[in-house]
Structures are given as structure tokens and as C-alpha cells.
Amino acid sequence: MESLNKFDQLVLDAAYNDYEAPHTIAADLSRILGRAVEEQEVHSAFSKLTHLGLVQAFEFDPTAQQYRLVQAAMLSGISQPWFLAVRSAPIS
């Protein structure tokens, strides 16, 4: 499996406790890393982690008040995806 860089690992770690989205963790990552972190950079990391099978992507349904699983291939069609780490994922 592909080794994760520090940024990707931080993004993955953030998604272990709760659903996360780029806009919910970009400021925290910026503080941790001591540099500006854009939401697009976080989104790219989440996309990579989704394709590696380390996180799952979701779309929040406000009517049902629940998250719906989104297949990795459909991720680009979601305007505000949320992500959650897969507990059994091997991490290198």
C-alpha cells in the first residue's frame, strides 16, 4: 500500500472520531502545520484517502438528518462531501 505523507495522515486521523469535511478541519490543520491550508488541499487528501479505501465518503441528507454513503467514483458529483475513516483500514 502507498505510504501516507504527514498531511494525508493528519487528515485521516481527523476523520477517525466523527464525520469531517474540508471546511471543518482546514483551520485546525493550518494551526497544527503552522501554514495556510486551503479547503481544496484537504478535499484532495480526502479524495486520495477515499480511493485508497482508508475513508468513506458521505453526503448529508438534511431532510432525513443522516449521512448517505457515496461511492468513490461518484465523489466529484457531491458539492459538500463528508468523510469518515474506515476503522479496519491498514495504515502505513
Predicted confidence (pLDDT) per residue in 2-40, tens digit = 689 999 999 999 999 899 999 999 999 999 999 999 999
Q: What is the pTM of this model?
A: 0.86
Q: What is the CATH number of domain 6-85?
A: 1.10.10
C-alpha pair distances (Å), 75 with each of 33, 34, 72, 88: 27, 29, 5, 21
For residue 91, pLDDT beyond 60: no
Q: Write down the domain spans for the chain.
A: 6-85
pLDDT band, residue 92 (cuts 50/70/90): very low
pLDDT cut 70: percent of the chain above it: 92
Whats the size of the chain, residue-wise?
92
Write 17-21 long-range contacts (CB < 8 A, 24+). 18/84, 19/58, 19/60, 19/67, 19/82, 19/83, 19/84, 20/82, 20/83, 20/84, 21/80, 21/81, 21/82, 21/83
